[in-house]
Amino acid sequence: MSTPEAKTPLLEVRDLVKHFPIRKSLFGKARARVHAVDGISLDIAPGETLGLVGESGCGKSTAGKVILRLIEPTSGSIRLEGRDITALGAGDMLAVRRQMQVVFQDPYSSLNPRMPAGEIVGEPFINYGIGGASERRDRVAALFRKVGLRPEQMARYPHEFSGGQRQRLGIARALALGPKLIIGDEPVSALDVSVQAQVVNLLMDLQAELGLSYLFIAHDLAVVEHISHRVAVMYLGKIVEIAPRRSLFGQPQHPYTEALLESVPATRPGLRRERKTLTGDVPSPIAPPSGCRFHTRCPYAIPRCSQEEPLLHAVGEGHQVACHLR
């Protein structure tokens, strides 16, 4: 899979921060803050997939929701096609939402069980006042075909579909308004392995056909390696490494990335990976460690690591890492 040529980014995120205040009472003063996302910057080009990986609780899902403006950022900026959408009001965001859609992990909980599948997929057309009843039906039928479902299945209810088919419904609904960017929040994690491959291949086919960009949030590195052009690794609210897929999986530079890769079995013949589990618990995001946030678990830590925060810097073509030793 070749990386899309460098173009003006579709999405530009700069210094994005999301802290959640912890209060004793509803209107009380914040006693502490959860540092869920702590100053991340990333770009996604048209037609590009950026994988966003990290352990559970690293802030990757929160980052996706903040980019979508489903939750408000504490600070930083989000630009879509050059337009700053960080502080747009609800009316202006309505138009922006046509361009940015989401596919969630659990298709069952994101599909209304009391609505026929055709109505679920066609709901965005009603919300945006697009077409009359028969045009909407034709559009929904076309979306069903596009995601590998049959238009005859439009009258069925979500429980009558398999897990993979339900995720296809979620994708069809996300495609309805012709978005340019889809944020997948663990979109295949709840599916069986064989079904995961089918849904990932569907997403890749749709990208090739429609020129979509994806922010693909996942903890499964094998899936991320398969679908992504570039990959960003998050640890405790920070991006610690970002690189083209080949460099990240072939020459990981950050000790945390190394540890993540070592913790999964090799999926390619000839690539031997020693199975090691990342040791130690992820520190609390309420009081992240000083300096490098990974220093409490890093086997290479030196005294400087607990005192000074390493900044992302270039170590190769498009490859950046935040580590004092690289």
Count of residues making up the chain: 326
Least CB distance to ligand SF4 at residue 326 (A): 7
238: CB partners within 8 A, 6+ apart: 38, 39, 40, 293, 322
Asked whether position 323 contacts ligand SF4 by CB under 6 A, the answer is yes
Least CB distance to ligand SF4 at residue 235 (A): 9
Q: Which of 177, 210, 266, 301 binds ligand SF4 (CB under 6 A)?
A: 301
Segment contacting ligand SF4 (CB under 6 A): 89-97, 99-107, 215-223, 317-325?
Answer: 317-325
Least CB distance to ligand SF4 at residue 185 (A): 27
Asked whether position 305 contacts ligand SF4 by CB under 6 A, the answer is yes
Structure tokens at 168: 């296809």
Asked whether position 290 contacts ligand SF4 by CB under 6 A, the answer is no
CB 320 within 8 A of CB 241: yes
Asked whether position 188 contacts ligand SF4 by CB under 6 A, the answer is no
Q: Which of 11, 62, 298, 320 binds ligand SF4 (CB under 6 A)?
A: 298
- Specify the residue, 79 or 324, whose C-beta has the smaller distance to ligand SF4: 324
- Specify the residue, 178 or 300, whose C-beta has the smaller distance to ligand SF4: 300
Segment contacting ligand SF4 (CB under 6 A): 1-9, 90-98, 106-114, 289-297?
Answer: 289-297
CB 99 within 8 A of CB 175: no
In 171-190, which positions are buried (b, 16+ CB within 10 angstroms) versus exposed (e)? bbbbbbbebbbbbbbbbbeb
Least CB distance to ligand SF4 at residue 278 (A): 13
CB 217 within 8 A of CB 49: no
The rounded distance, in Å, linking the Cα atoms of 247 and 137 is 45
- Specify the residue, 145 or 313, whose C-beta has the smaller distance to ligand SF4: 313
The rounded distance, in Å, linking the Cα atoms of 232 and 319 is 10
CB 101 within 8 A of CB 165: no
Asked whether position 264 contacts ligand SF4 by CB under 6 A, the answer is no
- Specify the residue, 45 or 292, whose C-beta has the smaller distance to ligand SF4: 292
Asked whether position 236 contacts ligand SF4 by CB under 6 A, the answer is no
Asked whether position 222 contacts ligand SF4 by CB under 6 A, the answer is no
**Residue-wise DSSP of 262-313:** HTS---STT------PPPSPPPPTTSPPSSSTTTTT-TT--HHHHHSPPPPE
The rounded distance, in Å, linking the Cα atoms of 200 and 22 is 38
By CB under 6 A, name the binding residues for ligand SF4.
254-255, 292, 294-295, 298, 300-301, 305, 310, 323-325
